[in-house]
Amino acid sequence: MNDDALPPARAIEFWFDFGSNYSYLSMMRIEALATARNVRIVWRPFLLGPVFRQLGFENSPFVLQKEKGAYVWKDMERQCRKYGVALTRPSTFPRAALLALRVALYGANEPWIGAYCRKIMQLNFADDREIGLPEVVSEALGSLDLPAQHIIETAQSDANKLHLREQTEAAIRRGIFGAPTFFVGDEMFWGNDRLDDALDYCEAMSRRDR
């Protein structure tokens, strides 16, 4: 069965921003977990900054609230140990990733999307690289033997730029207030710790619809 033949209940929407630390944890896990359950991922890169501004925040709450920020990085250390994922606290947080997100949007339906997204996340949260720079995005694409120059040029087209703005506006309309966020149909799940719940719900919906 190809992806397009899967019923709606067998798909999970994954809304993420490369600057989001908890999106990093989900990104490194979601493809293997979804494949094991025969669930299709709908990749939804979006800009978290405009969402925060819509909510009245000029930056991540993890930055604006000192105590919450201290807790979050301690929690990240624990979670990364739990999942066996490398972590280097980024020297810039949240890190701008506009070009990287445009490339992800352009490639959202391509077979390389999962590997590319994991590579960008690793560059940010394991290697502390500036993932918004063209040379770093090009390096990520090149490491996957992809035509970096062509992909970047296409991702920078006016149509794709507009698409990312529209996708971010769609996130706001759907009530997204953070990342990662998952949707199974109209059911929303927020946070890395709800990824398994979202996949469970996806399976339950599939059984109900048989």
Is the distance from CB of 160 to CB of 105 less than 8 angstroms?
yes
C-alpha pair distances (Å), 136 with each of 22, 125, 131, 160: 21, 14, 6, 20
Helix (H) or strand (E) holding 12: strand 11-16
Is the distance from CB of 45 to CB of 105 less than 8 angstroms?
yes
Helix (H) or strand (E) holding 131: none
Give the residue among 66, 20, 7 at the shortest CA–CA distance from 205: 7
Is the distance from CB of 20 to CB of 179 less than 8 angstroms?
yes
Retrieve residue 31's tokens. Answer: 């493809």
Q: Which residues are catalytic?
A: 20
| Residue 97 half-sphere exposure toward CB, CA atoms < 13 A | 32
Local structure of residue 92 (DSSP, 8 states) = S
DSSP readout, 4-47? GGS-GGGEEEEEE-TT-HHHHHHHHHHHHHHHHTT-EEEEEE--
Helix (H, G, I), strand (E, B) or coil at 183: strand
